[in-house]
Structure 1
Amino acid sequence: MDYQTFQPRPELSPFIKCYWTLESPEEEIPQQQTIVPDGCMEMIFHYGDLYRQYIDGKAVTQPRSCVFGQLTQPLVIEPTGTTGIFSVRFQYEGFIPFATIPIKEMDDKAISLETLFGEDGTELEKNVLESKTATEKINTVEEFLLKKLDAAAIDRVVQSTIDTILTANGQISIGELSKQTNINRRQLERKFSSAVGLSPKQLSKTVRLQATLKLLLNKEYTTLTELAHESEYYDQAHFIKDFKEFTGLTPKEFYGENLKMSSLFYGTN
């Protein structure tokens, strides 16, 4: 697999975490991959063959181009041939200025660009897929997003809450977040979910698990007890419960799975 990342221009960095490309030849026997929630939405363009995704055990072919909403559960995908993907990974709340439907309605769904942006989305797909290099693809997407950008759409309370969650590495309660923002708990949860697509608690658990995944994939532990302690879980049972919720597997089962894509996305920084 050839995986590369690229940084956005400065005026888009508050909204875009990075761009990435992934290329891989066709596999003789296609391998399913588990994608673990990471709290970020993605705008994906398949310039290679399409991918299947499995929802409730049923195979669904992803659109040629789409925005994938927040994952609230592990996503199983499988290549149908040669992989060629260009993707825009948004910041946690980064897609809200560009959204044309409520963010929460996009959870666990791949929404086509045509559905989201009409003819503009169709034109964007055409232009990106016809671009020969990653730089050309990035320039095309950035011109599109800058035209759509409404900088006032990012809520300062939401941004502050995200910053607090990241600083605490996900180890903070909704009660403490409510206290720090001086906003009623329910009001904060509604405001946050409408901007991010996840509740503050869901994002906190996701951020915490991502740090744990990096330790796991980089083999920076000797026992699961040590891993749970390093990630400051209350006990090993609590750690395994949260891990299985986000990956669909226990830590031991997860490490035995095909982790090529997880290692690319989460194993290194």
Structure 2
Amino acid sequence: MEYREYPPSAELAPFVKCFWSLESDDEVHERERIFPDGSIELILHYRDFFRKYDEAGNAVIQPRSFFHGQLKRYFELQPMGKVGVFSVRFHPAGLRPFVPFSIDEITDLTAPTAKAWEEKAAQLETDLLAAESTEQRIAVIEIFLLSQLNRDHVDPTVEKCVEQIIEQSGITSVDEIAQQQAIGKRVLERRFQQSVGLSPKLFARIVRFNYALQLIEKRDFSNFTTVAYEGGFYDQAHFIKDFYDFTGLNPKQYFSENLEMVRFFNLG
């Protein structure tokens, strides 16, 4: 499969991290795990559909277009044929200014775009499917998103907290962040849920996990205790617990898996 990322326009850059495409002209049917990465996606399948499996092995076929909210746990995806995926990857608090609902309403869920845009969602899907290239899809979605942008739903305090957590690789405490931003901890947690879809503590855990995942992928360490220490974990046991919570695997099992999509999404 070929994975490519594309930058957003300057107007959308504060909200959209990137656009990406995933394609394969060959039939693909291998199941792959998807790990939490702190992002929210707007996804379009313009070729064949994907099956999504939960931890219990229950499967559903994903819609043609949809939001995928923040993840708290892993799930598995299985292409059902030829792959053609286009996605908008929002910054952690980036979707909120485009939708009329609190982002925690779609956490761990696949949500129809009509939840946000009602009858306009069907026309957007039609226009995206009619596009003949990724560049054309980007042009379509950028015009649409700018038409839906509501800056009243931007929360600068939450955005600053998100930036701080990412800059510190998740190795920080909510109390410290709240104090530095001069905001009460409970108020921060409520506003974080509304804009990001997760508590600040869980978001920081996910950021820290992805930082540790990058350390593992570099393989520049002598043992997992070193990764735990560099990743800001209390000890190796806490590191392994977080790793399992988010992936369903321990670090050694991770090495034995060929997780192509993880390398696209979590390590790209």
**Structures share fold, TM-score greater than 0.5:** yes
Structure 1 counterpart of 2:257: 257
Structure 1 counterpart of 2:135: 135
- After TM superposition, the runs of 4+ consecutive aligned structure 1 residues lying more than 4 A away are none
The structural deviation recorded for 1:232 is 2.5
Structure 1: gaps spanning 5 or more residues: none
The 5 Å alignment of 1:207-218 reads: 207-218=207-218
| Alpha-carbon distance between aligned partners in 1 of 2:100 and 2:150, rounded to the nearest angstrom | 12
Aligned pair in 2 of structure 1 residues 127, 117: CA closer, same or farther (>3 Å)? same
The structural deviation recorded for 1:27 is 4.2
The structural deviation recorded for 1:35 is 0.7
The structural deviation recorded for 1:218 is 3.2
147-156 or 196-205: bigger deviation: 147-156
| Alpha-carbon distance between aligned partners in 1 of 2:21 and 2:98, rounded to the nearest angstrom | 22
Structure 2: gaps spanning 5 or more residues: none
| Alpha-carbon distance between aligned partners in 1 of 2:74 and 2:264, rounded to the nearest angstrom | 16
Structure 2 counterpart of 1:192: 192
The structural deviation recorded for 1:113 is 1.7
In structure 1, what residue type is equivalent to 2:40? M
| Alpha-carbon distance between aligned partners in 2 of 1:218 and 1:23, rounded to the nearest angstrom | 26
> 2:41 matched to 1:50?
no
1:24 aligned counterpart, secondary structure: strand
| Alpha-carbon distance between aligned partners in 1 of 2:58 and 2:218, rounded to the nearest angstrom | 32
> 2:180 matched to 1:180?
yes
In structure 1, what residue type is equivalent to 2:180? Q
> 2:23 matched to 1:23?
yes
> 2:109 matched to 1:109?
yes
Structure 2 counterpart of 1:88: 88
In structure 2, what residue type is equivalent to 1:120? K
Whether the 8 Å CA contact 2:189–2:200 is kept in 1: the answer is yes
The structural deviation recorded for 1:152 is 2.8
In structure 2, what residue type is equivalent to 1:54? Y
| Alpha-carbon distance between aligned partners in 2 of 1:27 and 1:137, rounded to the nearest angstrom | 23
The structural deviation recorded for 1:73 is 0.7
2:3 aligned counterpart, secondary structure: strand
Identity %: 40
TM (norm. structure 2) is 0.95
What whole-Å deviation, never above 9, does each CA across 1:102-123 have from its counterpart, x for those lacking one? Answer: 2111011111223331211000
1:45 aligned counterpart, secondary structure: strand
> 2:225 matched to 1:229?
no
Aligned pair in 2 of structure 1 residues 264, 220: CA closer, same or farther (>3 Å)? farther
In structure 2, what residue type is equivalent to 1:47? Y
The structural deviation recorded for 1:42 is 0.2
In structure 2, what residue type is equivalent to 1:128? L
Whether the 8 Å CA contact 1:32–1:258 is kept in 2: the answer is no
What whole-Å deviation, never above 9, does each CA across 1:75-95 have from its counterpart, x for those lacking one? Answer: 211111111000000001000
